[in-house]
Amino acid sequence: MSRIRLRQKQLLLAGSVGGAIILLVCVSIGFFYVNNLQKAHEKEKVVIQEELKKSQKQLNENKVTVTVAKTDLNAGDVVTEESIETVSILASAVPTDLVDTELLIGKFVKIDVQKNTVITQSMMYDEEVTPNDLRNQEFRLVELPTKLLKDDFVDVRIKFPTGQDYIVLSKKKVRDLNNGTVWYQMSEKEIMMMSSAIVDAYINDAFIYSLSYVEPYMQEKAIVTYPSNLKVLDLIASNPNIIEIAKTEMEKRAREKLELDLKSMTDDERQRYLSGMTSEQASKENAYAESQNGIQGDTTNNALIDNQNNATVSNPNQQQQSNANDKFTDSVDTVPITK
């Protein structure tokens, strides 16, 4: 029994030593393998970091500082310091017509520009330097487009009975608009040109109208083609009041045309127009009518209109006499129309 136990102990000891040796070999091999993997990973990491540094350096060298819109800009807006900012982007993505930020301040935007859009020279325009002879002029005799709005751009034209059509004023901005009256800013030369056109239209039964631009901030200014009439200029020089006479006569013609258009409307057309009006527009018109006529309550009961109708019916001879006297009244006095 003692021999068997001794032999078993020897076998166990030999097995333990062998297992320990094998385990040590495996651990050694594993250590060297993991160590090599770590070294290889470190080398790859260093290489990648170096490549990243090189790439970042190249990117930084190829970046350019540009100006972008900080907020959405609409066509015609003025560029301010609050509406733009500077960012860095790749030089390959930069347009060729960049503009310095300082030079953008105070310029106008031609088109709608969305936020973060790079601003270029082609998107901007400068208003002309204000000349010393620039003045605000208002006209009631110009036939305006139906959908004309304030800040639109128009060409003012004159059309003769012969069909000849000329541009009198080119790309004028509508500074204000109210009930058929339009305001432009005009130089002395443009004022004289328009005065000549007004007298020309008065003498030759022409009419003056305007056409609006489709893309005013993209379209070029039209060339003025109206040749000032030397006889008209001589007439203006000899009788400056002829301009006012012509203006009044042209306004009268425009009013007569408006009244004819109103009379030609059918009841169905009037009803469709009235039904298309919003409640806000109706309330504004009612308030305006009340302030002008002093009427309280329902605006459909217009006593002033009734009185005028009654006066017209009760005294037709007086109306005929008034039509026979071809006169006009301005803010100064009454002058007979003579051609």
186 and 146 co-located in one domain: yes
207 and 140 co-located in one domain: yes
Q: Is residue 76 part of a domain?
A: yes
Residue ending a domain, among 70, 93, 125, is 125
pLDDT at residue 158 tops 90: yes
150 and 223 co-located in one domain: yes
149 and 248 co-located in one domain: yes
Q: Is residue 226 part of a domain?
A: yes
* Band of pLDDT at residue 131, cut at 50, 70 and 90: confident
Residue ending a domain, among 253, 273, 302, is 253
220 and 248 co-located in one domain: yes
77 and 162 co-located in one domain: no
Residue ending a domain, among 210, 238, 253, is 253
Question: What is the rounded distance in angstroms from the CA atom of residue 177 to the CA atom of residue 184?
Answer: 10
Higher-pLDDT residue of 197, 91: 197
Q: Is residue 20 part of a domain?
A: no
What's the confidence (pLDDT) of residue 183? 95
Q: Is residue 305 part of a domain?
A: no
- Average pLDDT of the residues of the chain: 76
pLDDT at residue 316 tops 50: no
CATH number at residue 75: 3.90.1210.10
pLDDT tens per residue across span 47-64: 888 888 877 777 666 777
Domain count, the chain: 2
What's the confidence (pLDDT) of residue 312? 40
What's the confidence (pLDDT) of residue 156? 96
152 and 239 co-located in one domain: yes
What's the confidence (pLDDT) of residue 57? 73
Q: Is residue 15 part of a domain?
A: no
pLDDT tens per residue across span 69-88: 888 988 888 888 888 888 88
115 and 196 co-located in one domain: no
What's the confidence (pLDDT) of residue 102? 81
Q: Is residue 53 part of a domain?
A: no
Helix (H), strand (E), coil (C) string for 194-260: HHHHHHHHHHHCCEEEEEECCCCCCCCCCCCCCCCCHHHHHHHHHCCHHHHHHHHHHHHHHHHHHHH
Supply the range of the domain harboring residue 82. 62-125
Q: Is residue 260 part of a domain?
A: no
DSSP letters of 87-106?
EEEEGGG--SSB--HHHHTT
pLDDT tens per residue across span 170-216: 999 999 999 889 999 998 888 888 988 998 888 888 989 999 999 88
